[in-house]
Amino acid sequence: MRTLKIIRMDGLVPYAAGYTRQLAEAEELYKNPELLAKLILLQHAPVYTLGRTTKKEHLLTLPYDEDDAPEGADKSYEREASTGPSPLASIPQRGEGNEAPEIVESDRGGSVTYHGPGQLTAYLLLNLKRWEIPIHQHLWNLEEAALRALAAFGLQGRRVEGMTGVWTDILDFGFPISDSTTQPTEGQSKIQNPKSKMAKVCAVGVACQRWMTFHGIGLNVDLDLAPFERIDPCGLGRKPVTSLSQLLGRPVAMSEAEEAVVKAFEEVLGTTNA
């Protein structure tokens, strides 16, 4: 029997704490002979995470100084793919208070992204060999779960070749990436015939060690998107980002998103809820 165990972490979870929880749950899972997967649901405290393919130009206005990089850190930000999780390095920011988002190196694939309150992060842990799932199918499953979660809200998402994640079409009014689905306020020039363009609503990034998967999806539910303006999200040329609340034009409770995401993963994996 295929079983999916749901694990919820309350409050705003520091990135390192979420990562440590993944390692602990994965170690237990690795020793379990059953067809069991674990889905960790949480909201991270504000953090920028630098994946293995991050380049310096993807960081844009982040107050990062190479002199502050931890000893041994790859300052080129063009790191080779690793075989599995590596220790996280928290990079201090100069000239900002304690409330500033962390900047953290991560072992997941992909480039830089942002996590924060109002974004649902779902880490899917399973043994690919035991489940007989190749890594490309695992990535497809993550995207498929996000697509089905969007559909539960009446939204149509899509995959885009060469750009991992889930995208949706929005109207382009010529605003910054965090405001691309918002009508102009007084004093702003409105484009008379706004064009449809795609925006990312869900990011996907994974790592794998000893056949065990780590990381997963970051679904933008109802959050401040301004922090994305300080980076080139996922290193894709500053493509716009959006959220469920922007697309629906209403507040979206995290419980709504969690329910949709859990159901979607159960359908995709063909599991029962543990």
Question: Which residues are marked as active site?
Answer: 234
Phi-psi group of 77: left, alpha or beta (phi > 0 → left; psi -120 to 50 → alpha; rest → beta): left
Q: Tokens for 19?
A: 């990562």
β-strand partners of 219: 120, 202
Q: Tokens for 196?
A: 């449809």
With contact defined as beta carbons under 8 Å apart, do 50 and 112 qualify? yes
Q: What whole-number distance in Å separates Cα of residue 181 and Cα of residue 176?
A: 10
With contact defined as beta carbons under 8 Å apart, do 180 and 212 qualify? no
Q: What whole-number distance in Å separates Cα of residue 30 and Cα of residue 210?
A: 8
Mapped onto helix, strand or coil, the DSSP state of residue 255 is: helix
Mapped onto helix, strand or coil, the DSSP state of residue 238 is: coil
Q: Tokens for 43?
A: 């909201």
